[in-house]
Amino acid sequence: MMAYRLAQGISIKSTSQGAFLVSLRPLRTVTLNGPLLKLMQSMTAEAVMPRSDAEKAILEKLHTGGFVERVQADLEMLPGLPTVSIIIPVKDRAEDLSQCLLSLHRLNYPDDKLQIIVVDDGSTDETPEVARTLGALVFSSGKTGGGPALARNRGAAEATGDILAFIDSDCTAASDWLNDLLPAFSDERMAAVGGWVDGMHHESALDRYEAVMSSLNLGRRDMVAGSGADTFYLPSCNLLIRQSAFAAAGGFRTELHVGEDVDLTWRLRDKGWKISYLPRGVVFHAHRSRLWPFMKRRFDYGTSEGLLQQLHPQRGKKMPIPWLLASVLFAAVSAIISMNFLFLVLATVLLLADGLILRQKLARQGLSLGLGTLIAARVRACGSLAYYLGYHLLRYYLVVLLVISILYPPISIVLLLMLLGVSMVDHQVRRAQLSLPQFCLYYFLEQLSYGSGVFWGCWKIKSFTSYRLDFSKAKLSA
C-alpha cells in the first residue's frame, strides 16, 4: 500500500465557510469536508497510509492534481520478491550488448529471481556469442530485421518471470533499477512501470541535450494513469510489465517499428489496468550524438502519430483554453505584430477583469485571497498558456510558421519570441547542462524534424486527424 504526504507548496486554509487546500503555483483550490480536512492535517507532519479503497482513490486524485505526493515504496511492501525476466532485443550490437549485460550482472537483486533473455533479430556479427558468453539465454526472433516488437514478443514467450523487464541493447541499468520500480506492483491493478532514462554520455552538447529532452525521458514528476483518453505512455527501453497483463494485451504489435510502446501501454490502460512512471529506476541510454541521426530519429518518431491516432481514435490532443486569458495573450501578440501598444492596455484591462472574476468565484466558495495574489497567479497562468500554445505550434506547424514569416516578416518576431520563450522554460525545467543558445538550436531542429515526420506519416495514410485539437472541456480555471 502506498503512503502519501502533502506536496510542497500546498497549504490548508480554514475560514468560517469551510476549509480548502490551496496551491499558488499554479493557483488551484480543493474544498475539504471534515474527514478530509483531518486527513490532510495529519499529512503535514508525516506520510500516511490510506485506510480504505475510497480514501486511496481520493488521495490518488489529489496526487494527480499535484496536492499530495507519494512516498517512495520499497520492496518490503511486496508480499514476496517477484521473479523477473529481463528481455533485450538486439541486432548487430555486440559491444553495446556486452555493456548492457555487464550492468545487469551488477543489479542488487537475487540471481535466483532473475532470468536474462537476449533475442537476436538476425545479427551478422558476434552478438549471439557475446550474449551466451555473458550468461544470457539466447533466442532467435525468427527473422532478419523483424523489429524490436517482434523480438520482445519472442522473448516474452520464453520468459518465466512474474515481471517482464524490457531494456534495449544500447542501454545499461543502474544497480537499483529493479529495486526502485518493482514496489509499484504492490498495487494489484498496476500493469506497467517505467523509470528514468538518462544519457549514457555527456561529453558533447547534443549528448547533454538528449539526456534531458529525449522522448524517452518523461521528466522529474511521477505519474500514474488508468483508463482515460489522454496520451500518457511509457517507453520500452525502461519498462516493467506484469507477465499476465502483457499476455492479456497480446504483447507488442509487430507491424509497428516506431511507437509500439505507446500502443501497448495505451491498450493496457484501455483494458482497465494502470501504468506508472517514476523518476527513478535509472537506465542509461546511448543517445544519438550526431546531428543527422538525431534529426532522423525525431522524424521517425513523428511518423508514428498518424497511425497511432487511427489505432486509438479516442486519444486526442486536449487543449483546455481559459478564453479570457487567451484574449489577454492575443492582445499582447497583436501589440507585437502591429506595434500598437494600445493592445497592451487592452491586455492589462482583460487581465485585471480575469483576476476580479476569479476573486468573486473564490469568494462565493468561502475563500478570500488578495487581489495582488490573484493577479500574480493569473499572470503565471497566462505564461503557462503561452508556453503550451507555443509548444504546440512549434511542434506541429513550424514549417508553416517559417513560410508565413517570409511572406509577412512581423510574424517572424512572434516566432522568434515563441521559440526563445518555450526553449527557456524547458531549459530551466529540465535543468539542461548546456548553454541556452545551444539548447535553442537543438530545440529548433527537434521540432522541425518531428513536425515534418508527423506530416509525412499522416500524408502516407491519408489521414490528418492527429492534428485535431479538442477544446470541448475548455473553461476558466483557477
Per-residue pLDDT tens digits for 356-366: 998 898 888 88
Residue 371 pLDDT:
85
Task: Give 474's pLDDT tier (boundaries 50, 70, 90).
Answer: very low
| DSSP structure string for 378-433 | HHHHHHHHHHHHHHHHHHHHHHHHHHHHHHSTHHHHHHHHHHHHHHHHHHHHTT-S
Residue 472 pLDDT:
59
Give the whole-angstrom CA distance, residue 412 versus residue 367: 44
Let me know if domain 76-289 sits in CATH 3.40.50.2300.
no
- Contact (CB, 8 A) for 201 and 207: yes
Question: What residues form DSSP beta bridges with 69?
Answer: 5
Angle at 166 between CA 128 and CA 119, to 5 degrees: 20
200: which 3 cell numbers?
Answer: 549514457
Summarize pLDDT for 58-81 with one digit per residue, the tens.
Answer: 988 898 888 998 887 677 767 789
Angle at 358 between CA 357 and CA 360, to 5 degrees: 65
Task: Give 1's pLDDT tier (boundaries 50, 70, 90).
Answer: low
| CA neighbor of 253 nearest in space, from 245, 244, 243, 264 | 264
| DSSP structure string for 6-66 | EPTTEEEEEETTEEEEEEETTEEEEEE-HHHHHHHHHTTTS-B--SSHHHHHHHHHHHHTT
Give SS3 for 221.
Answer: coil
Residue 384 pLDDT:
92
338: which 3 cell numbers?
Answer: 502591429
Residue 475 pLDDT:
40
Model pTM score: 0.88
